[in-house]
């Protein structure tokens, strides 16, 4: 993927299997957000293709992607701040139904599974950051996605909140949703991912199970520098 003269991603090849949690990590500036946004339909890759569920979705519009079962969250959360929590989730639920009462039922369901239902009438702009992130996921879940793209959801959370969020991820995965997650908080992503892909300077430098990747020389070099490649 090229931005003018800058090649942000150079021949990156990823694949996710259904029901998996795939994590994408790498030092800052590696190109993770770019990769994410290409998949999410924000950028049209200057070369290469993206396939989802057997269909070529390269360059598709965000709302069409949502209809196809691909949902995403935003790194800087974007709640509909002047509206209630329930309203927020209902907007997502409307992706699957045209009826208001059905949407409300779906929304209440999701809120309950993510333990936000007691705050359903709160103005979303007044929520804590942890709750807002939870709301962001709830909203995306209401669209009944097959694949959920999560963009640095843990950023800005306290350790207890991170633990709570890990539980949320597990709930989501157990409901049958495939997850593609970008993250910086190592313990979260190590604990959750079935597989990891590590990129640096727009290229893949390692992939595999978390334990294997953690020991990979290239990965250690990328994050910590040459001196740390111990025996």
Q: Which one among 51, 62, 129, 229 touches another protein, defined by CB under 8 A?
A: 62
Residue 167: count other Cβ atoms within 10 Å of its Cβ: 11
The answer to the question of residue 229 lying near another protein (CB under 8 A) is no
Residues 24-53 that bind another protein (CB under 8 A): 40
Give the H or E element holding residue 164.
Answer: helix 159-174
- Give the contact letters, 95-124, x = binds to another protein (CB under 8 A), - = no: x-xxxx--x-----------------xxx-
Residues 150-209 that bind another protein (CB under 8 A): none
* Stretch of 20-28, 79-87, 109-117, 210-218 lying at the interface with another protein (CB under 8 A): 79-87
DSSP string of 100-140, one letter each residue:
HHHHHHHHHHHHHHTT-GGGTTSBGGGS-HHHHHHHHHHHH
The answer to the question of residue 66 lying near another protein (CB under 8 A) is yes
CA 179 to chain centre: 7
CA angle 67, 73, 78 (to 5 degrees): 110
Residue closer to another protein, measured from CB, 15 or 82: 82
147-151: strand order across its sheet: 70-72, 147-151, 178-182, 21-25, 195-200, 203-208
Binding residues vs another protein (CB under 8 A): 40, 61-63, 66-67, 71-72, 74, 78-83, 87, 90-92, 94-95, 97-100, 103, 121-123, 126, 139-140, 142-143
């Amino acid at each position: 993927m090229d931005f003018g003269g800058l090649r942000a991603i150079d021949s990156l090849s990823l694949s996710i299997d259904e029901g998996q949690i795939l994590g994408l990590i790498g030092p800052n500036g590696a190109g993770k957000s770019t990769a994410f946004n290409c998949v999410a339909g924000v950028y049209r890759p200057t070369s290469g293709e993206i396939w989802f569920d057997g269909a070529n979705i390269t360059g598709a519009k965000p709302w069409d992607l949502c209809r196809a079962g691909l949902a995403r969250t935003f790194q800087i959360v974007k709640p509909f701040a002047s509206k209630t929590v329930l309203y927020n989730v209902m907007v997502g639920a409307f992706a699957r139904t045209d009826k208001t009462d059905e949407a409300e039922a779906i929304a209440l369901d999701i809120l309950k599974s993510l333990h936000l239902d007691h705050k359903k009438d709160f103005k979303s702009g007044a929520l804590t950051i942890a709750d807002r992130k939870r709301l962001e996921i709830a909203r995306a879940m209401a669209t009944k996605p097959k694949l959920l793209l999560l963009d640095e959801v843990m950023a800005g959370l306290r350790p207890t909140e991170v633990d709570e969020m890990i539980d949320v991820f597990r709930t989501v995965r157990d409901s049958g949703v495939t997850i593609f997650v970008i993250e910086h908080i190592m313990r979260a992503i190590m604990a959750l991912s079935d597989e990891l892909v590590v990129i640096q300077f727009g290229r893949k430098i390692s992939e595999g199970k978390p334990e294997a990747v953690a020991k990979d020389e290239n990965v250690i070099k990328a994050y910590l520098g040459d001196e740390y490649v111990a025996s």
